[in-house]
Amino acid sequence: HVAVLRQLGHDACELRVPSELDGVDGVVLPGGESTTQLLLLAESGLGTALDTRIRAGLPVLATCAGLILAAREVQAPPQPSFAWLDVVVARNAWGRQVHSFEATADPDAAFGALPLVFIRAPRILATGPEVQVLARFQGEPVLVRQGRFYAATFHPELSGESRVHAAVFGRGLKVSRE
Ligand code: GLN
């Protein structure tokens, strides 16, 4: 994510403690293992700090485990979440790690032929009335938006392009140093 954001001209950094949130204009909640992420967010205090900023409208791109943290309800197995996004998700809903796969979004999606990398990906089972579906795969939502909160079941940072990050964060003002 940092590499893609830098390509777009943003001044991207990694966040691990609450004080690092001061002064940022947007946040990516990356993939990983959402159960572990919940523990780390609680231990570091970053969960509470993020909750305050996100509820105040901080732009967010949540991918995969990040989407699971953000969901209103998490199933299979159930797990606590922050309810930043009005969706119900099922974890690991395409199968185990070996069933991870690449695909292309349905052609009628807003992003055209968006490449999709799924890694032990969740599925979005239901979306609330404020949630807009931006891309689908086999008819199911894979990229959604609720206000300034965007979330993907796939990994847009791994497909060698930056359309999703650009849609969420725009382009930075920095230009090349040459
Ligand atoms: N399966 C992971 C989880 O449940 C998410 C996988 C990912 O982020 N690529 O948290």
User: Which residue's CA is the nearest one to ligand 1's atom 2?
Assistant: 33
Per-position pLDDT tens, the chain of length 178: 999 999 999 999 999 999 999 989 999 999 999 999 999 999 999 999 999 999 999 999 999 999 999 999 999 999 999 999 999 999 999 888 888 899 999 987 678 889 999 999 999 999 999 999 999 999 999 999 999 999 999 999 999 999 999 999 998 875 554 4
Which one of 1, 29, 33, 37 would you pick to mutate in the ligand 1 pocket, going by the greatest count of ligand atoms within 8 A of its CB? 33
- CA-155 nearest atom, ligand 1: 9
Is 130 an active-site residue? no
Is 10 an active-site residue? no
Is 157 an active-site residue? yes
User: Which residue's CA is the nearest one to ligand 1's atom 8?
Assistant: 31
Ligand 1 centroid from CA 89, angstroms: 11
pLDDT, residue 64, reads: 97
3-state SS string for the chain = CHHHHHHCCCCCCCCCCHHHHCCCCCEEECCCCHHHHHHHHHHHCHHHHHHHHHHCCCCEEEECHHHHHHEEEEECCCCCCCCCEEEEEECCCCCCHHHCEEEECCCCCCCCCCEEEECCCCEEEEECCCCEEEEEECCEEEEEEECCEEEECCCHHHCCCCHHHHHHHCCCCCCCCC
Dump pLDDT digits (tens) for 66-86: 999 999 999 999 999 999 999
User: Which residue's CA is the nearest one to ligand 1's atom 5?
Assistant: 65
Pocket of ligand 1 (CB under 6 A): 31-34, 64-65, 68, 91-92, 119-120
Single pTM value for the model: 0.94
Dump pLDDT digits (tens) for 10-36: 999 999 999 999 989 999 999 999 999
